[in-house]
Amino acid sequence: MGAGKSTVGERLAEATARPFVDLDRLIERRHVPIPQLFERGEEEFRRIEESVLAEVLAGPESVIALGGGTVLSPLNRERLRARAFTVYLDVGIEAAWERVRGSDRPLAQREVDFRKLYESRQEVYAEAADAVASDADDVLLASLAIRLGGVIPPRVPAVIADERVLELHAPPVEAPVHALPQGEAAKSLAVVERLWGELTIGREGTIVAFGGGSTTDVAGFVAATHLRGVPWIAVPTTLTGQVDAAIGGKTGINTADGKNLAGAFHFPESVVIDRALLATLPEQERRGGMAEVVKTGLLAGRPVWELPEEEMIRACAAYKAAVVLSDPFETEGRRPLLNLGHTFAHALEAGSGYRVSHGEAVALGLLAALRLSSRPTDAVEEILHPEPVEADLETAWAALKRDKKGEGVFVLLEAPGKPVVTTVPDAEARAALASLLRQ
């Protein structure tokens, strides 16, 4: 108690578009204030708590703030293991006591008793928790096993890596290495077929993807399809990968008709983000990553690009995790919001024969999306400095029309932090696309 579970829970519920349930408040609404329940005996309160928690866990996916003693019940712990991802929000004894002192909480009337209670519960809290966190972003990252500076489990028998990255960095684990061509050249059926033939791992094996967004796309797709699916771990080596591409379980390859048109949802066991890998990143790749950072900031309604690098990566990864958790398989309508600027970007890439990099294309796509939204373009222009590119308008327009997000469908901004999926008349969309091309 006093850890801030209700405050953090409300933030998580808003970020992930899930209902929020405060277990103690729900019990009070159905019965009487908790101090009165404790007057009848703690055993009676715990029996009611078990019953209400079972009902909540059987309902819609929610963010649930548990009472401080909920996990003392073996039955509750068993139900949580079966139905929930449980996080211990650890703020320390001093902060917790400061928040509850002077309240009417039955178990927080005397500091000495509160401290003893805190110490006595640490072991069971550790047993019940799938993760330990200190704030909402920590919980979001933990929920998708995103680890900043984390380690890779030792049971890894195969690494799929970008050939250029292997020239700069040793593989993250000792295992057979399967090299990929750089960039979009890796995202082909021919490369996937080669990897299927080379891999010798069984279903107990794990694949590590070591490279940028193209590498994690391909390696994740191979993991999804090899022997009908094996686990994989993403170790993104680019800024784009660390803030966006490696997060969320979308994997895929390109086809003759466009980017990422063949793929699967296959979530990695973990995403290990090592900022040290960015030290060798070429400037063009860093700018490409910043395009995704600016996109995230526009969607979130906060200038995350102004944060120190580590905090910026953490904030972007947490935002992406929140959207993914709200719509894991792109069925609820929220996850497509992450495509802000990308409908135009994919069209530009196709229209240039993929000579225009993804980062350049996203920067220009954001510019077009903001113009169509009648929103200021300052952040895009000042941070990304997009310039018109050479591409064939007809090829780009054809690619835009068959884009996987649906003909005429775009993500625009009503206001900072308020993206919408909407339609744009062909004439306006084509004019916006043409304005991105070098005349």
Catalytic, out of 11, 164, 250, 266: 250
Element (H, E) at 250: strand 250-255
Catalytic, out of 295, 314, 358, 371: 358
Taking a C-beta distance cutoff of 8 angstroms, is the pair 252, 221 a contact?
Answer: yes
Give the DSSP per-residue string, 365-434.
HHHHHHHHTT---HHHHHHH----B---HHHHHHHHHT-TT-TTEEEEEEETTEEEEEE--HHHHHHHHH
Catalytic, out of 346, 349, 360, 371: 346
Catalytic, out of 18, 46, 335, 371: 335
Catalytic, out of 105, 339, 349, 360: 339
Q: How far does the chain reach from its first CA to its final CA, in angstroms? A: 64
Rounded CA gap, 401 and 410, in Å? 11
| Alpha helices for 74-188 (secondary structure H) | 74-83, 93-100, 111-128, 136-143, 163-168
Name the 3-class secondary structure at 106: coil
Residue 193 a catalytic site member? no
Residue 5 a catalytic site member? no
Residue 14 a catalytic site member? no
Catalytic, out of 292, 295, 334, 360: 292
Catalytic, out of 10, 42, 61, 330: 330
Residue 292 a catalytic site member? yes
Cβ neighbours, 10 Å, residue 5: 22
Angle (deg, nearest 10), helices 74-83 and 42-57: 10
Phi, psi angle pair for 129, to nearest 5°: -85, 135
| Alpha helices for 301-389 (secondary structure H) | 309-326, 342-351, 358-372, 378-384
Residue 330 a catalytic site member? yes
Residue 254 a catalytic site member? no
Residue 375: which of 417, 429, 337 has the closest Cα? 417
Exposed/middle/buried for residue 354 (C-beta within 10 Å: 0-12, 13-18, 19+): middle
Rounded CA gap, 387 and 363, in Å? 9
Residue 226 a catalytic site member? no
Residue 47 a catalytic site member? no
Catalytic, out of 43, 123, 167, 228: 228
Catalytic, out of 11, 320, 334, 371: 320
Taking a C-beta distance cutoff of 8 angstroms, is the pair 298, 379 a contact?
Answer: yes
Residue 312: which of 340, 289, 284 has the closest Cα? 289
Residue 346 a catalytic site member? yes
Q: Which residues pair with 421 in a beta bridge?
A: 411
Residue 339 a catalytic site member? yes
Rounded CA gap, 15 and 198, in Å? 41
Taking a C-beta distance cutoff of 8 angstroms, is the pair 117, 111 a contact?
Answer: no
Rounded CA gap, 425 and 291, in Å? 26
Taking a C-beta distance cutoff of 8 angstroms, is the pair 377, 371 a contact?
Answer: yes
Catalytic residue numbers read 228, 250, 292, 320, 330, 335, 339, 342, 346, 358
